[in-house]
Amino acid sequence: MVDFNLIDQLGAGDEAAEAMLREALGAGEGRMDRVLGGGLMQDFTPGSILKGHVVGFAGDDVVVEVGLKSEGLVDKGEFEELPAVGDAVEVLLEQVEDSTGGIVLSKRKADRIRGWEQLLRTRKEGDVVEGKCLRKIKGGLLVDIGVPVFLPSSQVDIRRPGDLGDFVGRTVRASILKIDEEKRNIVISRRKLIEEEREEAKQKLLTRIKEGDLVVGRVTNIADFGAFVDLGGIDGLLHVTDMSWGRVNHPSEVVRIGDEVEVKVLNIDLDKEKIALGLKQKETSPWEEIEQKYPVGCRLKGAVVNLMSYGAFVRIEDGIEGLVHISEMSWTRRINHPSECVEVGQEVEVVVLDINKEKLEISLGMKQTEVNPWDLVAEKYPPGTIIEGSVRNLANYGAFVEIEPGIDGLLHIGDISWTKKVSHPNELFKKGDEVRCVVIEVDQERQRVGLGLKQLTEDPWVEAIPSAYRPGMIVKGAVTKVTNFGVFVELEDGLEGLLHISELSDQKVENPQDVVKIGQEVDVKILRVDTDERKIGLSLKRAQWGADDDRDTPAAPSTKPRPTRGGMDDHGALGTDKINL
CATH number at residue 258: 2.40.50.140
Ranking 4-18, 185-199, 407-421, 440-454 by mean pLDDT, the lowest is: 4-18
pLDDT class of 573 with cuts at 50, 70, 90? very low
- Yes or no: say if 342 and 304 are a contact pair by the CB < 8 Å rule: yes
Q: Are residues 14 and 76 in the same domain?
A: yes
pLDDT class of 19 with cuts at 50, 70, 90? low
Number of domains observed in the structure of the chain: 6
Q: Are residues 95 and 177 in the same domain?
A: no
For 395-418, the pLDDT digits (tens) are 999 999 988 887 889 999 888 888
Q: Are residues 181 and 225 in the same domain?
A: no
CA dihedral 346, 349, 351, 355 (to 10 degrees): 40
pLDDT class of 164 with cuts at 50, 70, 90? confident
Q: Are residues 426 and 473 in the same domain?
A: no
Alpha-carbon distances, residue 194 vs 15, 135, 188, 336, 344 (angstroms): 62, 21, 12, 57, 48
Residue 40 lies in a domain: yes
Q: Max CA-CA distance within the chain?
A: 181
Residue 36 has pLDDT above 50, yes or no: no
pLDDT class of 551 with cuts at 50, 70, 90? very low
Query: Would you state the pLDDT for residue 232?
Result: 81
Residue 519 lies in a domain: yes
Q: Please say which residue of 409, 426, 456 terminates a domain.
A: 456
Alpha-carbon distances, residue 341 vs 217, 327, 374, 408, 506 (angstroms): 45, 12, 20, 20, 70
Residue 267 has pLDDT above 60, yes or no: yes
Q: Are residues 10 and 103 in the same domain?
A: yes
Q: Please say which residue of 421, 436, 456 terminates a domain.
A: 456
Residue 42 has pLDDT above 90, yes or no: no
- Of residues 553 and 497, the one with the higher pLDDT is 497
Residue 407 lies in a domain: yes
Q: Are residues 438 and 538 in the same domain?
A: no
Closest CA to 517 of 543, 478, 550, 549: 478
Q: Are residues 403 and 314 in the same domain?
A: no
Strand bridging mode 88-95 / 398-404: unpaired
Residue 534 lies in a domain: yes
Residue 319 has pLDDT above 60, yes or no: yes
- Please state the rounded mean pLDDT for residues 279-303: 88
Ranking 96-100, 256-260, 536-540 by mean pLDDT, the lowest is: 96-100
Percent of the chain with pLDDT over 70: 86
pTM: 0.44
Q: Are residues 380 and 424 in the same domain?
A: yes
469-472, long-range: CB within 8 Å, 24+ apart, which pairs?
Answer: 469/526, 469/529, 469/536, 469/557, 470/526, 470/529, 470/554, 471/526, 471/527, 471/528, 471/529, 472/525, 472/526, 472/550, 472/552, 472/553, 472/554
Residue 200 lies in a domain: no
Residue 429 has pLDDT above 60, yes or no: yes
For 49-63, the pLDDT digits (tens) are 888 888 888 888 888
Q: Are residues 295 and 276 in the same domain?
A: no
Ordered DSSP codes for 458-473: --TTTTHHHHHS-TT-
Query: Would you state the pLDDT for residue 1?
Result: 38
Residue 575 lies in a domain: no
For 489: left if phi > 0, alpha if psi spans -120 to 50, otherwise beta; the answer is beta
Alpha-carbon distances, residue 105 vs 63, 73, 74, 85, 411 (angstroms): 10, 6, 6, 17, 114
Q: Are residues 278 and 294 in the same domain?
A: no
- Yes or no: say if 509 and 537 are a contact pair by the CB < 8 Å rule: no
Residue 199 lies in a domain: no
Q: Are residues 69 and 32 in the same domain?
A: yes
Phi, psi of 374 (to 5 degrees): -70, -20
Burial of 219 (0-12, 13-18, 19+ CB in 10 A): buried
Three-class SS of 345-356: CCEEEEEEEEEE
Residue 512 lies in a domain: yes
Residue 109 has pLDDT above 70, yes or no: yes
- Please state the rounded mean pLDDT for residues 429-456: 89
Q: Are residues 138 and 186 in the same domain?
A: yes
Q: Please say which residue of 428, 456, 484 terminates a domain.
A: 456
What domain range is 268 assigned to? 209-282
Strand bridging mode 185-189 / 171-180: antiparallel
Q: For residues 70 and 105, what is the distance between their CA atoms, to the nearest angstrom?
A: 12
Q: For residues 476 and 244, what is the distance between their CA atoms, to the nearest angstrom?
A: 85
Query: Would you state the pLDDT for residue 61?
Result: 85
CA 493, distance to chain mean position in Å, is 64
Query: Would you state the pLDDT for residue 240?
Result: 92
- Please state the rounded mean pLDDT for residues 321-330: 92
Q: How many residues does the chain have?
A: 581
- Yes or no: say if 112 and 123 are a contact pair by the CB < 8 Å rule: no
